[in-house]
Structure 1
Amino acid sequence: MADTLPTLLLAEHDDVSLNPVTARALTAALALGAPVHVLVAGENARAAAEAAAKLDGVAEVLLADSPALAHRLAEPVAALAVALASGYGALVAPSTATGKSVMPRIAALLDAMQVSDVIAVVAPDIFDRPIYAGNAIQRVRATDATRVLTIRTASFAAAGEGNAAPIRALDAAAPTSGASFVSEEIAASARPDLSAARIIVSGGRALGSAENFHAIVEPLADALGAAVGASRAAVDAGYAPNDWQVGQTGKVVAPDLYVALGISGAIQHLAGMKDSKVIVAINKDEDAPIFQVADYGLVGDLFEIVPALQAEIAKAKA
């Protein structure tokens, strides 16, 4: 039976280090009740595999090291996972851009139903997932021999460290495919990664311009040591880059503190941040939906409130 087979977790990494979402997805994978193996696919990815081996609960790390896997394109990674699938009861990945690219292809090749954005593991074959922008929770049963899951990592705590799991090298000769890597542009920032940040300061359309966004949101984020986020309206207006977008069509986050500046609170945005531990909203519209989920709300002009808040933070640090 599938339940007696181990679970394979696809690690999110950059060959050198693990993305923190891997530890969160591991918590979900362990909830399936079977031993968890972690697949680290990449080129010169030994360091990432060693990091995965330290995570509590990992039974074994599979290291697939090959130039064909250098950029973790969906085609070779999916082919590798499918080749391993017969030995596993479930294939699991974080619900990130990479996971959303690879896992549907795996599900199609296995002719299996993918369960996306799992927020709770009820039983080894029963899962909860949000629908209608998080306004309803759907409970589904996966009946395929191999379950294919993506995990909304904001809903799970990160697994700890202190383990020393064995690392097994795989023959990573990936088959050729019609896709090839051309180039990539990676935004470099000294700020924390948005998907894993403890504090996030986000701006909305009320900021009025890209200049105001940079002048108001970013200094407050830097003062708090926070990542910068944005609503879809702010991104569409050109105030912020696409990779800062928080929401149903952006990144789903659950930081310790989420500060929303000039964000009204459309359901698509709330779906991406309402699991934050503490939410602070600043908006001049007292009827804005964001105040329904905020722990602390300030009604007023953000162009006056935010500089005053920054001054208080600077005074506290002095």
Structure 2
Amino acid sequence: MAILLFAEHDNASLSEQTAKALTAASQIGGDVDILIAGKSASAAAEAAAKLSGVRKVLLAESEALEQRLAEAAAALIVSLAPEYDTILAPATTSGKNVLPRVAALLDVMQVSEVTEVVSADTFKRPIYAGNAIEVVQPTDATKVLTVRTAGFAAATDGGSAEVSPIDAPSNGSDLSSFIKNIQTESDRPELNSAKIIVSGGRALGSEDKFNEVITPLADKLGAAVGASRAAVDAGYAANDLQVGQTGKVVAPDLYIACGISGAIQHLAGMKDSKIIVAINTDEDAPIFQVADYGIVGDLFDILPELARQL
């Protein structure tokens, strides 16, 4: 059995999401190859080669693959598909963009957001906003999966796989083009990989209050900042900070939910956190049902005091 892992990277470095997806691939069993699709991405390929459990690293470089657009990346993966029983990627923006197209081109069912590997052909994934777990056993000859990496530990270094350059097919490269990438610059950890997250909800009341209360605590803790969908929709926080079913799924060591009621959609994105602290004036808020520690009180009093004590 051979497995192809479509890597998450920025050409210069390999994302931790790839190392976590590698753990899932190892649990499936078989030889695991990592595909680095990009441009001037030899550094990312070398990092992938050092991960334990990797048979070889395939390095495909071209202008069309620099941003890993779905059309060009899917064409590359499909060209390699006959050699693999399973194709998987982290359930990141890139993985969610590319693999559905791969599955469609191969005419197979995709199993999305895998949280547990039961066996080589059986997987668990959440449905109904995480309120139920579905056990899926695809019967297709080639299995296509995206992995919710929050549930898997990152694979460690210790490997010495060979890096093999391969040619990228030209088909698909003319179907879309990259215009520009607008990114938010921040000194804080990325939300997906942060060990500590401080999240704010609609109770903050305004963007100014959100920044005034949430930011100092996050700075003291060296934490990433998150937000509920209600806070994002109200304009208190940027879209890329949204945690939840329609945002980012996180599993930090510590998640501090401030003024978040705990709607099902939000819980689906953070309930796997190791320790959850909830601060809310409503003692009946659903967030307290999943919280390890709950504080009933005014967050505008509690958070500044907590920041001072730290």
Q: Distance in 2 between matches of 1:174 and 1:7?
A: 24
Structure 1 partner of 2:21: 25
Q: Name the amino acid aligned to 1:211.
A: D
Rounded to whole Å, the distance in 2 between the matches of 1:50 and 1:200 is 31
Residue number among 189, 192, 200 corresponding to 2:189 in the alignment: 192
- 1:162 and 1:293 mapped to 2: Cα distance? 37
- Give me the whole-angstrom Cα distance separating, in 1, the residues matched to 2:166 and 2:64: 13
| Structure 2 residue identity aligned to 1:93 | A
Letter of the structure 1 residue corresponding to residue 48 of structure 2: A
Whether the 8 Å contact between 2:202 and 2:228 is mirrored in structure 1 is yes
Which one of 29, 37, 53 corresponds to residue 49 of structure 2? 53
The answer to whether residue 258 in structure 2 is matched with residue 261 in structure 1 is: yes
2:241 alignment counterpart: 244
**Alignment partner, residue 224 of structure 1:** 221
State the secondary structure of the residue aligned to 1:24: helix
- Structure 2: state its 5+ residue gaps: none
- 1:31 is paired with a residue whose SS is helix
1:235 pairs with 216, 227, 232, which one? 232
Aligned residue identity for 1:261? C
Deviation at 1:172, TM superposition (A): 2.0
Decide whether the 8 Å contact of 1:93 with 1:149 is kept in 2. Answer: yes
Aligned to 1:316: none
**Alignment coverage as a number of residue pairs:** 309
Shift of 1:173: 4.1
Structure 2 residue matching 1:99: 3-state secondary structure: helix
Distance 2:169 2:179 in 1: 20
Residue from 21, 28, 35 that aligns with 2:31: 35
**Pairing of 1:1-318 with structure 2 (within 5 A):** 4=1, 6-175=2-171, 176-313=173-310
1:174 CA displacement: 3.0
- Distance in 2 (CA, whole Å) between partners of 1:102 and 1:219 is 38
Distance 2:27 2:262 in 1: 33
Distance 1:268 1:97 in 2: 18
Amino acid at match of 2:4: L
* Aligned-partner Cα distance in 1 for 2:183–2:23: 29
> SS at the partner of 2:67?
coil
Shift of 1:107: 0.2
What is the alpha-carbon distance in structure 2 between the residues aligned to residue 247 and residue 294 of structure 1? Answer: 16
- Normalising by structure 2, we get a TM-score of 0.99
Matched residues, percent identical? 64
2:5 and 2:25 in contact (8 A); partners too: yes
Distance, in Å, in 1 between the alignment partners of 2:12 and 2:174 is 26
Specify every segment of 5 or more residues in structure 1 that has no aligned partner in the other structure, as ranges. 314-318
Q: Is the 1:66–1:173 Cα contact (8 Å) retained in structure 2?
A: no
Question: Quick one: distance in 2 between partners of 1:95 and 1:30?
Answer: 17
Measure the CA separation in 2 of the matches of 1:161 and 1:10: 18
C-alpha separation in 2, matches of 1:222 and 1:54: 33
CA distance in 2, matches of 1:30, 1:244: 31
Q: Please state whether the residue corresponding to 2:40 is helix, strand or coil.
A: coil
Please say if residues 284 and 299 of structure 1, whose CA atoms lie closer than 8 Å, have aligned partners that are also in contact.
yes
The residue identity in structure 2 corresponding to 1:61 is V
* Equivalent residues of 2:75, 2:169 under 8 A apart: no
* Aligned-CA RMSD value: 0.7
Do the aligned residues in 2 keep the contact of 1:69 with 1:174 (CA within 8 Å)? no
Deviates more, 1:251-260 or 1:172-181: 172-181
Q: TM-score, length-normalised on structure 1?
A: 0.96
Q: Is the 8 A contact 1:68 1:173 kept in 2?
A: no
Superposed displacement of residue 177, structure 1: 2.9
